Amino acid sequence: MTAVGSAFPDVHPRAGLPRRVTVYEVGPRDGLQAEATTVPVEIKAEYCRRLIGAGISTLEITSFVSPRWVPQLADAEVLLDRLRTEGVLDTDGLRSVVLTPNARGLARAIAAGAREIAVFVSATETFARRNLNSTVAEALADASRVIAGARAAGIAVRGYISMCFGDPWEGRVSPREVVAIARQLLEMGCAGISLGDTIGVATPGHVLALLDELGRAGIAADRLAVHFHDTYGQALANVLSALEYGITEFDSSAGGLGRCPYAEGATGNLATEDLVWMLHGLGIDTGIDLEELVRTSMWMSTHVGHPPVSPVVAALTSGA
Amino acid sequence: MTAVGSAFPDVHPRAGLPRRVTVYEVGPRDGLQAEATTVPVEIKAEYCRRLIGAGISTLEITSFVSPRWVPQLADAEVLLDRLRTEGVLDTDGLRSVVLTPNARGLARAIAAGAREIAVFVSATETFARRNLNSTVAEALADASRVIAGARAAGIAVRGYISMCFGDPWEGRVSPREVVAIARQLLEMGCAGISLGDTIGVATPGHVLALLDELGRAGIAADRLAVHFHDTYGQALANVLSALEYGITEFDSSAGGLGRCPYAEGATGNLATEDLVWMLHGLGIDTGIDLEELVRTSMWMSTHVGHPPVSPVVAALTSGA
């Protein structure tokens, strides 16, 4: 195993920022679903165990999506059932989530022992049509049924909104449309909302503008998470802007799993290690052991066939 | 030529930030000196012309360093003389700078028609010894002679301080040491100071802590620039923190020139395009035409033999 270690980051807290935040780890789901290589279920289970061992306390494990759409996650039942049987889901303080795009996915997730689910809706009509083959209104109606079903089973629900900051076909997205969808998802019973910058075009002022609009609509920071993609290299600056607003839940993928492994196209999720480096430098507690997380990402990289896409992982494992 | 274009970034100003900043372009010097390929002088001259054509108004052109140390820049006289003769240095509003590590470099720079020079000093003894083969005190004494010589010739001087946020051998660097060196460089006659995070370990609270320390010592934001490396992916978040403090000059390299072209080791300068994307999204004027800058970086990439290392360049040229 590669040596991992650094005297850095130096800790320099900044006034007005949260003292503790939740890192919502999406590597096993959002990461693996975007990798070309399909990883065996026993490796996925070990990956989840190692992430939890590194201090990840909020973990999106898989998606109960049709295997025709996402063959990489066709083993969702087997994986969840294995983690449940082994007691991994009962780890102290662990919040585990599975994505359920529709009522069939919810039924499968409940049968496999899911503890929390996530649903998603697009902020734009074009993406709704292309990704879900529905209108936004139809997607919200579907989400409403899934949320009601989950709540009836005593299961908490997270709502994702895609394309909150821009859409490749429609261009600009009005913050008011995002607010309207967020409000509906919360009224339907979502415990919180993750605001997705699916194409990575947001900048820090845009982040603040959307959060302000949500705040004016009465949606408090503690009901919100942010999910930034790093397509334009802006993800971490956007996290800083969201921290300044008071957001305390941030989505990221360990080792940048799911990102394109070439510098000239590093799209996809912010890497958890890069996020944690900044948070720890700011003196913000995450509960995560950065060196152990780096080791986990290095291990996983051998199973997906390319190095982690994270400057922090690269720096902490080069020549050390 | 690849099509370049985007409806983004959306412009969302944030209260309390500067309305206009200076992008201090270091590609021809800091970028090219770190590339494995030595580029012919006529290509360097065309590069400078194209950067200026894209709106770059502050340009570090080359370094009058010994060719034994940096063979990539052995043509410093020829390049500067050519740009001067062609009238490029007389472009309206252009501030052009050359690095002069010592008295011999200064003499060469003056003979070639330099308009402004830069000197550099390390904040740490170990880096001073390894990079300059001197103590910090000796480096300051050398810098003092170079600054005095330049001022006597009517030439303005920028002072670089390396390792302001950490040192690979010594670890932490005290902000007070940086303040002491900055104060001396200003007293010697430097017009401004660029604070270098040479190993890229800073986080946004650290940036603010150092700037606060400099402010308490009476060194105002308008005498300071920041020079962040993206080794740990933190450069743009650090820029945001510096903007919030009131810094208005930012060093960067077009297309990430000089950066390692592999995602697993993207060390080196922040890419100018990634910086400009954020600044323009914040409604901050740079005078730069982003699309023209991207075209320039794509053109230069054919001469250094690898794609630009900039997510913005990749995103704006992929599939467009």
Give B177-226 pLDDT, tens digit per residue.
999 999 999 999 999 999 999 999 999 999 999 999 999 999 999 999 99
Nearest CA-CA distance, residue A109 and chain B, Å: 36
Count of Cβ atoms closer than 10 Å to residue A142 Cβ: 17
Contact yes or no for A233 and B271 at CB 8 A: yes
The structural domains of chain A, ordered by start, are 22-317 (3.20.20.70)
Chain B CB contacts of A236 under 8 Å are 233-234, 236-237
Nearest chain B residue to A240 by CA: give it.
B237
Is residue A260 flagged as an active site residue? yes
Interchain pair B308, A264: CB under 8 A: yes
Q: In sequence order, what E strands does B67-223 have?
A: 95-99, 116-122, 156-162, 192-197
Distance from CA of B158 to the nearest CA of A (A): 28
Section B158-167 average pLDDT: 96
| A307's tokens | 């190095």
Checking if the pLDDT of A2 tops 50, the result is: no
Contact B261 A261 (CB under 8 A): no
Q: Look up residue B70 and give its DSSP letter.
A: -
Q: What is the ipTM, given to two decimal places?
A: 0.95
DSSP category for residue B168 = T
A97 contact partners, CB below 8 Å, separation of at least 6: A58, A59, A60, A61, A114, A115, A116, A117, A118, A158
Q: B228, B234, B280, B316: best mutation site toward chain A, by most A Cβ within 10 Å?
A: B234
A239: enclosing H helix or E strand: helix A235-245
What's the pLDDT tens digit per position in A187-239?
999 999 999 999 999 999 999 999 999 999 999 999 999 999 999 999 999 99
DSSP bridge partners of A63: A99
| Contact across the interface for B12 and A203, Cβ inside 8 Å | yes
CA distance A263 to chain B (A): 4
Question: And the tokens for A147?
Answer: 């949320």
In this prediction, residue B4 has a pLDDT band, given cuts at 50, 70 and 90, of low
Q: One of B48, B164, B190, B260 is an active-site residue; which one?
A: B260
For residue B131, the model assigns a pLDDT of 82
CA proximity to B9, closest of A240, A171, A270, A194? A171
Phi–psi pair at A195, nearest 5 degrees = -90, 115
Q: What is the DSSP letter of B173?
A: -
How much is the pLDDT for A320? Answer: 44
Judging contacts by C-beta atoms under 8 Å, the chain B residues touching residue A313 are 264
**First-residue to last-residue Cα distance in chain A:** 11
A234/B307 Cβ within 8 A: no
Contact B199, B229 (CB under 8 A): yes
**What's the CA gap between B207 and A10, in Å, rounded?**
11
Mean pLDDT of the residues in chain A: 94
Name chain B contacts of A8, Cβ cutoff 8 Å: 166, 171, 201, 232
Q: Which chain B residue shows the shortest CA-CA distance from A320?
A: B168
B180 Cβ neighbours under 8 A, 6+ residues apart: none
Q: What is the mean pLDDT of residues B7-20?
A: 94
Radius of gyration of chain A measured on its C-alpha atoms: 18
Residues of chain A neighbouring B285 (CB-CB closer than 8 A)? none
Q: Write down the pLDDT at residue B264.
A: 47
Q: Which residue has tokens 């957001």?
A: A247
H-run or E-run covering B54: none
d(CA B100, CA B107): 9
How far is it, in rounded angstroms, from Cα A269 to Cα A50?
20
Q: Which residue in the set A9, A233, A266 is minimally distant from B263, CB to CB?
A: A266
Centroid of chain to Cα A214: 20
Q: Are A284 and A18 in contact (CB under 8 A)?
A: yes
Going by C-alpha positions, the residue among B243, B225, B173 that lies closest to residue B60 is: B225
Yes or no, beta carbons of A271 and B8 under 8 Å apart: no
**Set of chain A residues whose Cβ sits within 8 Å of the Cβ of B284:** none
Angstrom CA distances, B189 to B123, B140, B177, stand at: 18, 12, 19
Q: Percent of chain B beyond pLDDT 90?
A: 88
Which is nearest to B198 in space by CA: B275, B262, B121?
A: B121
Average confidence (pLDDT) over A179-183? 98
pLDDT band at A261 (very low <50, low <70, confident <90, very high): low
The pLDDT tens digits of the residues spanning A59-107 come to: 999 999 999 989 999 999 999 999 999 999 999 999 999 999 999 999 9
Closest CA to B123 of B170, B168, B181: B181
| Contact in structure between B308 and B297 (CB atoms under 8 Å) | yes
Confidence bin at A168 (pLDDT 50/70/90): confident
Q: Calculate what percentage of chain A has a pLDDT beyond 90.
A: 88
* Owner of token pair 């690095």: B99
Contact list, B7 vs chain A (CB under 8 Å):
166, 171-172
Rounded CA gap, A138 and B128, in Å?
65
**pLDDT for B5 beyond 70:** no
Give residue A170's identity as a one-letter amino acid code: E
pLDDT band at A266 (very low <50, low <70, confident <90, very high): low
Least confident of A216-220, B83-87, B247-251, B264-268: B264-268
The chain-wide mean pLDDT, for chain B, equals 94
Sign of CA dihedral B276, B279, B283, B288: negative
Tell me the per-residue pLDDT of B47-65, one tens digit each, with 9 for 90 and over.
999 999 999 999 999 999 9
More confident residue, A289 or B133: A289
Which sign does the torsion angle of CA B275, B278, B282, B286 carry?
positive
Residue B7: per-residue pLDDT? 76
Looking at residue A157, what is its pLDDT? Answer: 98
Which pLDDT score, from 0 to 100, does residue A1 have?
Answer: 40
Going A205 to A207 to A210 to A214, the CA torsion angle's sign is negative
Q: Do the Cβ atoms of B307 and A7 come within 8 Å? A: no
pLDDT at B2 over 80: no
B290 and B56 in contact (C-beta within 8 Å)?
Answer: no
What pairs with residue B120 in β-bridges?
Answer: B160
Which amino acid type is present at position A45? Answer: A
pLDDT in tens, A225-237: 999 999 999 999 9
Who's near B80: CB < 8 A, 6+ residues apart? Answer: B61, B62, B89, B98, B109, B112, B113, B114
Contact between chains at A8 and B241 (C-beta distance less than 8 A): no
Q: Give the Cα separation of B287 and B19 in Å (integer).
A: 12
Q: Does the CA dihedral B47-B53-B54-B57 come out positive or negative?
A: positive
**A239: nearest CA partner in chain B:** B237
> Stretch A284-297: mean pLDDT, rounded?
98
| Residue in A12, A171, A312 closest to B206 by CB | A12
Residue A267, pLDDT score: 72
- Sign of the C-alpha dihedral computed for residues B279, A253, A26 and A4 taken in this order: negative
Span A16-29, pLDDT tens digits: 999 999 999 999 99
Q: Classify residue A66 by burial, with Cβ atoms within 10 Å: 0-12, 13-18, 19+.
A: middle
- A9: tokens are 């980051």
A232:B202 CB<8 A: no
